[in-house]
Chain A
Amino acid sequence: MKAMKKVLSLAVVAAMALSVFACAADTAAETEETQAAVDYEYMSYAEYDAAALDTEVTVLCTVMATQSWWEDQITVYAQAFDGDGAYFIYNMACSEEDSEGVAEGATILVTGYKSEWEGEIEITDATFEFTDLVQENPMEPVDLTADFGNDDALIANQNRNFTMTGLTVEASGDNGEAFLYSWDGSGSQGDDLYFTVSNGETTMTFTVESYLTGADTDVYQAVEALNVGDTIDVSGFLYWYQGANPHITGVTVN
């Protein structure tokens, strides 16, 4: 019995010692991370832009928005920390705990591969680390009203946060709907919204991406309330799918 007690005591002491050691190691790692935050090696946006597809890239960027975290992955809309371009980071590895920090304004160092999918230039298979850096002069949304419907011009601003103004809501479906749940109306509330707008000369189809702005968001509900003929201003991110396929994050009816 005494021997058993000794074994148990030793086991408890060993476990406690291990725990203390592990905690100390964690603290040391955190301190090191903080100290190294100002000294990152990364590509400028111009270098990223010039990099070939399927090459490894490391970029420093500030989060503009994210799609909903899902099982250790998160999709990020980000702008270059140096302020001259934007990134779409698809399904970046991210724990649920870390996902709370991957929020608007956070600056992160992302390493992944430059890829193309249906025309969208993006970073895939990415990992990241947090930094303490604060982007002091974030890029203002670029006004792309003049480039409306012109993919050749719009592509220069792929993934950027943008605005367009003075657009008219057109009928989207066979029944004259102002918007559709899913691209052809086959969906239901909670699915992506699609709506068509014109500048009087040509039309574009905009998307409210439900993983970015779901049914409980202002923009989703604003689009559900649109009427054909409304004049609107929009803001969003210039996502690409076989051409410009903006993800709209704000709608104002004039």
Chain B
Amino acid sequence: MKMRKALSLILASAFALSSVGLTGCHGNVKRNEFIVPEYFDTSREFNITFWAKNDTNINQTNIYNQAIADFEHLYPNIHVNIRLYTDYNKIYNDVITNIATDTTPNVCITYPDHIATYISGDNTVVPLDNLFTDERYGLGGSELVFDSPTVDQIVPEFLDECVINGVHYCMPYMRSTEALYINKTYVEALGYEIPDIVTWDFIWEVSNAATAKNPDGTYVVNGQEVMIPFIYKSSDNMMITMLRQLDAGYSDEYGNIGIFNDTTTSILHTIADEVGQGAFSTFTVSGYPGNFLNAGQCIFGVDSTAGSTWMGPDAPLSDIHESNVVDFEMVVRPVPQFDTENPQMISQGPSVCVFNKEDPQEVLASWLFAQYLLTNDVQIAYAGTEGYVPVTTMAQESQAYQDYLNDPNEYSIKIDVTNMFLENINNTFVTPVFNGSTSLRNAAAQLINNTVKSVRRRETIDDAYIENLYEEVTALYRLDQLSASKDSRAELGALPKESKILLITLGVVWIGIGAYFGCDLVKKRKKN
């Protein structure tokens, strides 16, 4: 059963990030830079902790456990203790807490956005570049006792997401994108054919058509009292994707905020119009797209490919009572596009990082385990639990993975979204990662969700409303402080001459004051 906890934690994390992220990880223990040892000491025992995230999916838990058992068989002197999470933001909050007490895990599944905050402490997270290329213990290294991918065998688009300030601080573990899940039966009943690439205009046109009602108040298309034609699960992804497709501002890698622009305003006006027509809502406001889709109360749902096993009348997982499931044909497409010749969709998913410790051997043991998570057995098994794709070409091109993709016993929707993603890896994008990027992401979500709520509450959505919304969201997520702090670090460059003179003068004055009091003290002592 899915729950709404993620939402509260996501919102909470924005505050946490604002307060923690902007001030850095005060109180964390200073750590020396990690240097790769020349050899791994197999005569010593190592206990490492692994904080892992699953999608409340027992199969994923079982794969983690199997991976640990297999790894410990290969390295009997390394013992991995797993702690399971079902929410990235809970991991994030716990890591932040444990940085201060020097009790971070050794290996952790996380988002690059979150690592951007972790690394505000000194040498908290191990930079992986030297480890990647270490001839003995690096990716594909000679001393490894398992088949590890080389760095070239990690999908470049996915690996690039792990770069923060020019350094790789993590490795991709799994990747997904978003997919458009469509009730084909209803679309065709409304007189439309589904194109290979669906446009936003198509979505709105069909969604508006689906709002037609019978005299008794039920909807014509489904005969029910409830119909929300289009539901987007991740409001932040929706805003980010639309802005990207329209080549409009969002942010840069220095944390300069560009989201409050005319294109965003235009998008919010469109959303307001569609909500007013009864054509659109979001997960935050109404619930899971899959639940509405499966009940025949929705036509278009955008959700992660990693949620595919919940989507469709024959979905293996479902939160709604079977008596409420409606029979229909489901198809999947890439998320709606503005330019069908240049489709763009977000790349997302968990990454894995290694935390620095006093003992380099312990870090090396952690690195070995982190690297093991990229082996074919783990990658293919975990990807198969949902609509994920493996992050290595070694796994993607393996016979085992090809067999999986062609297995008629697998859930067809899951395979369809996986193939869709594989065909569009070159069309994926990621947002810039910086200390505070999570706050901006949450702000993006709130722009849409507040607009949706306000329309439902019969408020007037005009430019003044949107301007006020920008101010509210800026204040709530402290985006003005975020931009200011990043600007000063990234773009101001060297101090102007006048400032240098002022600072030097102040320094001289303080030295003079100190000297004066020092002399005075000496005189008094002499008198005594």
The answer to whether A117 touches B16 (Cβ under 8 A) is no
A132-184, CB < 8 A from B? 182-184
Closest residue of chain B to A115, judged by CB?
Answer: B285
Report yes or no: A54 in contact with B456, Cβ–Cβ below 8 A: yes
Q: Which stretch, B50-58, B148-156, B505-513, touches the partner chain A?
A: B50-58
Q: Is the CB of B83 within 8 A of A188?
A: yes
Q: Does B44 contact A (CB under 8 A)?
A: no
Return A77 CB to nearest CB of chain B, in Å: 15
Question: Is B173 in the interface zone, CB < 8 Å from A?
Answer: no
* A186–B12 touching, CB < 8 Å: no
User: Is B461 an interface residue, CB under 8 A from the partner?
Assistant: no
Q: Which residue of B lies closest to A183 (CB)?
A: B1
Check if B137 is an interface residue, CB within 8 A of chain A.
no
Binary CB contact string for chain B from 282 to 294 against chain A (1 if under 8 A, 0 otherwise)? 0001111001000
Q: Is B319 an interface residue (CB 8 A)?
A: yes
Nearest CB of chain B from residue A243's CB, rounded to whole Å: 6
Whether, in the assembled complex, B61 has its beta carbon less than 8 Å from a beta carbon of chain A, the answer is: yes
CB of B145 within 8 Å of the partner chain: no
The answer to whether B54 and A186 have CB atoms under 8 Å apart is: yes
Given contacts A71-B15, A113-B457, contact A188 B84 (CB under 8 A): yes
Residue of A nearest to B295 (CB): A242
A15 to chain B, nearest CB (A): 24
| Residue A241 at the chain B interface, CB threshold 8 Å | yes
Most chain A CB within a 10 A radius of its CB, from B4, B57, B458: B4
The reply on B269 being an interface residue by CB < 8 A is no
Contacts of A91 in B (CB 8 A): 8, 11
Specify which of A53, A56, A73, A117 lies most central, judged by the most chain B CB atoms within 10 Å of its CB.
Answer: A117
CB B18 to nearest CB in A, in angstroms, measures 9
CB-based contact A186/B84 at 8 Å: yes
The contact string, 1 if C-beta is below 8 Å from chain A, for chain B 310-329, is: 00000000011100000000
Q: Which residues of B contact A194 (CB under 8 A)?
A: 1
Please report the C-alpha to C-alpha distance between residue A116 and residue B4 in the assembled complex, in whole angstroms.
Answer: 13
- Per the bound structure, the CA–CA distance linking A188 and B39 in Å amounts to 35
In A209-254, the 8 Å CB interface with B consists of 211, 241-243, 245
Q: Please state if A186 and B56 are interface contacts (CB–CB under 8 Å).
A: yes
User: Is B58 a contact partner of A186 (Cβ separation < 8 A)?
Assistant: yes
| In the complex, chain B residues whose CB is within 8 Å of the CB of A245 | 1
Whether A105 sits at the interface, judged by CB under 8 Å, is no
> Per a CB cutoff under 8 Å, which of A73, A118, A207 touches B8?
A73
* Residue B213 is within 8 A (CB to CB) of chain A in the complex: no
| B60 on the A face (CB < 8 A) | yes
Q: Are B60 and A186 in contact (CB under 8 A)?
A: yes
Contact with A along B10-50 (1 / 0, CB 8 A): 01100110000000000000000000000000000000000
Beyond A73-B11, A118-B288, whether A242 also contacts B320 by CB under 8 A is yes
In angstroms, Cα B199 to Cα A244, docked, is 38
Residues of chain B from 263 to 288 with CB closer than 8 A to chain A in the complex: 285-288
Contact A187 B12 (CB under 8 A): no
Assuming A73-B8, A191-B86, is B56 touching A184 (CB within 8 A)? yes
Whether A70 touches B456, Cβ cut-off 8 Å, given contacts A184-B56, A194-B1, is: no
Q: Does B3 lie within 8 Å of A241, measured CB to CB?
A: yes
Nearest CB of chain A from residue B277's CB, rounded to whole Å:
15
B84 surroundings in chain A (CB, below 8 A):
186-188, 191
A211 to B9, CA, bound (A): 11
**CB nearest to B83 among chain A residues:** A188
* 1/0 contact string of B228-240 vs chain A (CB within 8 Å): 0000000000000
A47 at interface by CB-CB < 8 Å? no
Complex contacts, B184 vs chain A, CB 8 Å: none
The contact sample of 14 A-B pairs, CB cut-off 8 A, is A54-B456, A54-B457, A54-B458, A70-B8, A73-B11, A115-B285, A182-B86, A186-B57, A186-B86, A187-B56, A187-B84, A207-B1, A211-B5, A245-B1
Residue ranges of B at the interface with A (Cβ–Cβ < 8 Å):
1-5, 8-9, 11-12, 15-16, 54, 56-58, 60-61, 83-84, 86, 285-288, 291, 319-321, 453, 456-458
Residues on A close to B: CB < 8 A? 53-56, 70-73, 75, 91, 113, 115-118, 125, 182-188, 191-192, 194, 205, 207, 211, 241-243, 245
